[in-house]
Structure 1
Amino acid sequence: MKMKKMTAALLASVMAFGFCGSTVQCEEQETAVENAGEEITITDMIGREVSVTPGSYERVVCVGAGALRMYSYIGDVNLLCGVEDIDNTTLEERPEMFDSVARPYVLAYEEVFSMLPSCGVGGPMAQAAEAEKILSCEPDIVISEFEDVEKEDALQEQLGVPVITLKAGSKGVFDEAFSGSMELLGVLFGEEERAEELIAYVEAEAAEITSRTADIAEEDKPAVYICGLGNWGTTDHLMTAENFVSLNIANVKNVLSGTGMEGIQPIEEEKFVELGEDMDIIIMDAAAVKNIIPLYQEDPTMFDTCKAWNNGEVYLEMAYNAYYTNFEIALCNSWFVAKTVYPELFEDVDMMEKTNEITNMFLGQELAEEIFACPSSFGGYQKIDTATFFGEN
């Protein structure tokens, strides 16, 4: 059959935040769609060329952190023929470290996942796919988030079916790697329109947040400290970032601006104390609260220098990272950040309604109540009463 190549990492949809690719790439994507049912060669998100037959797959396995989540946004979960133990909440023996945190794809499709055989343990300790368990599920395609070219090539050779690797990117839901992964899934499963719809929605949401806040004068911007970022369960009030996408999109002043930090990392306690008097607002990721509470109870003076703490300007956003990025929650958090910092500009935004809207777009279900009911959500987006929340005496 005639072979055609497209570059999935830059599949084009004209996006204001760098999601767009070239006209040539748009034409290549259209060619792939036109040839649905024919074998083509795609380039997955880590640069591997793989022969696939778009629209032909009926037995799907997803392995690695985030793979099943991303597939759930685009693909039909009824095509799944296996699931990692971490995503089957009915199993007695399985990784449970994320069970108290909202993972919307699990909330949406928990019943479907519970009926499927195991394709591996999954979870942060699983550093490689389990080929034998995957083979026992008899998939005709594997969607993976193990971003290692040699391992993915070896797994594909063992399984004898296409192994397609996705990627998220450091900017999460706003990263072109995320949009590229959605486009790639759309091509593989004949869901191009669905992929385009989701990408366009994310782009429009980001653009609206930015446009609402574009005219705020620098001197009128409160200084925000966002913390508890990074890997769920391993972070606290010192884990933060200077260049954090949700703050950037909402034109929010980061108290760390100018420090030269790269990525998400902890600051020293001395730096936290030094910056405390400049912190107008603190936003904490809910996943870190379980670590911050005992630290505070051990040393109640840890926030004494922090203006936001003393003024009662401490807020809770939902955990955006649990078995990799909760993309829909990351988008919800961006709205919450903007509403928290600029309440007058976002007075019309109700976080329960916005969360339902976003989860409905991503997963076809309104999940706000279930997300907020998870133990580590502490009831949902809120301004924290520190005296009761952190157990002050």
Structure 2
Amino acid sequence: MTGRNSKNNGRFLEMTAAIALLLTFLFVTSTCKNGGRDGGSSSEPARDVTDAREDTSITVRDMAGREITFDRTPERIIGLRAGALRLITWLNASDMVAGIEEPERNADRPYLFAHPELRERPVIGPLMGGDAELLVAARPDVIFMTFATSGQADELQNQTGIPVVVLDYGDFAERRGVLLESLELMGRVLGREERAEELTRFIRSSIRDLKDRTGDVNSGERPRAYVGGISYRGAQGINATEPHYPPFRFAGIDNVAADLDEQLINPIDGTFIDKEQLLMWNPDVLFVDLSSWQVVQPEIRSGTPLYNGLSAIGEGRVYGLLPYNNYAANYEHMLINAWYAGKQLYPGRFDDIDMADKADSVYKAFLGRGVYDQVSGTMNGGLRSLSGEL
């Protein structure tokens, strides 16, 4: 019994030593391949690589309520439909754009003046939708799409195999928060959260500054103004207006069209009034959207009923504003127009503002560079009094 146990114990010890030697060999081999715990090699353990992938993947819920997961931060992007490319440039992401809608190549828009290189990007189809085959050929990692339903986004995603993120372009009046949510969403997808926050702060601080300058003016003392020639799918006449015109709100100006029946207000197809209504309102000040000046000018020039009937024209209070719409609303221009309108109607409260400098500061905040000279060059001088042109 004792001898047998001794033999068994010997075998057990031999086996134990062999296992220990094998484990030691495997440990040393693994350590050499992986560069040691402190990382003498650029290689990483497989588990760490998996963890890194998990750290860069995100799932977002777009503005249509759809969930989209990205394994990594997109490097090539496309903005589809009105305003999408504008929002991309706001996030300083123009270098990521893989293609543009065909008419963007020759359009006079601030973001294209600031980033002319976008005009050379491959064409991905016409306005408001693009072309599925051209989209695939551009090889984007994500498509940002405005003015789209959940079903439309799903259809395009199924056609192309490319993730589609729906944005809500919002507005600068009642739905400004929705616009800022879209910016935040884009920032998360592109890893540019700080830029989205920076721009949000600028928008809010600008509006707050404007309102602070005129906030103590009693409603009965506020100037009454009208803005005509608002562009809806092209230049329009003096009767095309915007009852919720944000620049007036920001600068403490009463909009004579603000009390229009809601059934007459159409932000998509345009809000149009009768010229007789404008004569009845007889606003203190008349503003004209310069995108429509060639249409409006003959309607209010010397000898016309409006010229003879509107005191604002007879007293030289007619001013031109930068385009409100140009493939969706020009939000940069809304802020610039608010500063200009405020300076004309409250000169003492805006006497520190040089409009060319202010305009370029707004463009720089949104687009990275000042382009006021180029924008005004497309409209024979930009922001200005129009009385001498009547």
State the TM bucket, normalised to the shorter chain: 0.7 to 0.9
Q: Contact 1:172–1:327 (CA<8 Å) still a contact in 2?
A: no
| CA shift for structure 1 position 236 | 1.7
| CA shift for structure 1 position 71 | 0.6
Q: Distance in 1 between matches of 2:313 and 2:53?
A: 59
Please give the root-mean-square deviation of Cα atoms over the aligned residues, in Å.
2.3
Does residue 268 of structure 1 match 2:270? no
The alignment's TM-score, normalised by the length of structure 1, stands at 0.79
Structure 1 counterpart of 2:98, from 78, 81, 88 = 81
Structure 2 counterpart of 1:303, from 304, 307, 330 = 307
Structure 1 counterpart of 2:124, from 119, 133, 151 = 119
Q: Distance in 2 between matches of 1:263 and 1:335?
A: 26
How many correspondences in the alignment?
Answer: 334
Match of 1:283 in 2: 287
Does residue 46 of structure 1 match 2:52? no
Match of 1:226 in 2: 227
Equivalent residue runs for 1:26-65 within 5 Å: 37-53=55-71, 56-65=73-82
Q: Distance in 2 between matches of 1:225 and 1:183?
A: 34
**5+ unaligned residues in a row in structure 2: which ranges?**
1-51
Does residue 156 of structure 1 match 2:160? no
Q: Distance in 2 between matches of 1:239 and 1:79?
A: 37
AA at the equivalent of 2:230 = L
Q: Contact 2:184–2:197 (CA<8 Å) still a contact in 1?
A: yes
| Structure whose CA Rg is larger | 2
Structure 2 counterpart of 1:337, from 333, 336, 341 = 341
Q: Distance in 2 between matches of 1:324 and 1:73?
A: 15
Q: Distance in 2 between matches of 1:179 and 1:36?
A: 28
Which range is displaced more, 323-332 or 35-44? Answer: 35-44
Q: Contact 2:288–2:321 (CA<8 Å) still a contact in 1?
A: yes
Which range is displaced more, 304-313 or 325-334? Answer: 325-334
Match of 1:382 in 2: 384
| CA shift for structure 1 position 257 | 4.4
AA at the equivalent of 2:335 = L
Q: Contact 1:37–1:53 (CA<8 Å) still a contact in 2?
A: no
Greater relative contact order (Cα < 8 A, sep 6+) = 1
Residues 103 and 36 from structure 1, CA distance in 2 versus in 1: closer, same or farther, beyond 3 angstroms? farther
| CA shift for structure 1 position 230 | 4.4
Structure 1 counterpart of 2:319, from 289, 296, 315 = 315
| CA shift for structure 1 position 135 | 0.7
Q: Distance in 2 between matches of 1:283 and 1:296?
A: 12
Residues 35 and 183 from structure 1, CA distance in 2 versus in 1: closer, same or farther, beyond 3 angstroms? farther
Q: Distance in 2 between matches of 1:216 and 1:328?
A: 25
Residues 275 and 194 from structure 1, CA distance in 2 versus in 1: closer, same or farther, beyond 3 angstroms? same
AA at the equivalent of 1:43 = R
Structure 2 counterpart of 1:353, from 309, 334, 357 = 357
Match of 2:252 in 1: 251
Q: Contact 1:53–1:188 (CA<8 Å) still a contact in 2?
A: no
**5+ unaligned residues in a row in structure 1: which ranges?**
1-33, 90-98
Residues 296 and 218 from structure 1, CA distance in 2 versus in 1: closer, same or farther, beyond 3 angstroms? closer
